[in-house]
Amino acid sequence: MLKLTYSRALSNIDFMERRPRIGITMRLEMETRRFYLGRDYSEAIEAAGGLPVHIPLIPKNRYIEALVEELDGVFLPGSDSDVDPSLFGEEPHPKLKNVVPEKDATDRLVIEAAESRGIPILGICYGMQALNVARGGSLIQDIDSQVENGLNHEQGRPLDRHSHSIEIDRDSIIGRLESIAANGNSVRVNSHHHQAVDTVGRDLKAVAWAKDGVVECIQDPRPEKFVLGVQWHPELAWDRDRLSTEIFEAFLEACRERFGNEQRPEA
């Protein structure tokens, strides 16, 4: 009986190991010194067929290199902090919010390790901004004060409400998704950010914009790469919004392709 139970346990482990392993960088609560992450990010990855792996914010190169070596994809989630403007050569704007050095440093190391291995990357909100800065781009530090006739990009609750529209380049990862290809290039999204992409980083391309010109999506246009950043929050609606679902499906499909190319042994 014990042998049978152990055999079943091994079978379950093997099944999980065949799922693409997706590293998700965490957050740091400064007051309590706790690493944490909202459940929606991991649930979205699991529902799309991935195995979420939480990455604590320990900005040590050897640790990150060893960890990323075991991953099939990297997911850079949103954060309640801002990217340090010194990373793109600017002084802090008066409306800059809190900066978490461990978050900035860890995310940058993860991006560098993933890029050196050709691992697919998906960035959401802060994650998109961190990706852009890591590629040498810059950010608008505060939309309200720096974008003329800017929209409200901090909608508040309910968090999953589609509050403003975006226009999508049809010749892009997002633009080729079924829900966009079938229904035109305009869609409404939720919005929870006061910063945005300014100068687009190297080997990145802006592929979606809000009506006020704020960049809402970036990608690496090279066909062999899956590097995508979205400014809205599809993880909050992956179970009921088709575009949100398709974003995670496309990401996981790219991760499966890499997983298959690695030729890891089957159970």
Active-site residues, by number, are 125, 233, 235
- d(CA 111, CA 189) in angstroms, rounded, equals 26
CB-count exposure of residue 203 (10 Å: 0-12, 13-18, 19+): middle
Cβ–Cβ < 8 Å for 115, 123 = no
User: What residues does 139 pair with on adjacent strands?
Assistant: 197
- d(CA 233, CA 77) in angstroms, rounded, equals 9
Task: Please give the sequence-ordered ranges of beta strands (E in DSSP) within the chain, or none if there are none.
Answer: 21-25, 27-29, 34-36, 51-55, 73-76, 121-124, 139-140, 164-168, 186-189, 196-197, 205-210, 215-219, 227-230
Close Cβ partners of 248 (under 8 Å, ≥ 6 residues apart): 44, 45, 47, 48, 122, 234, 235, 238
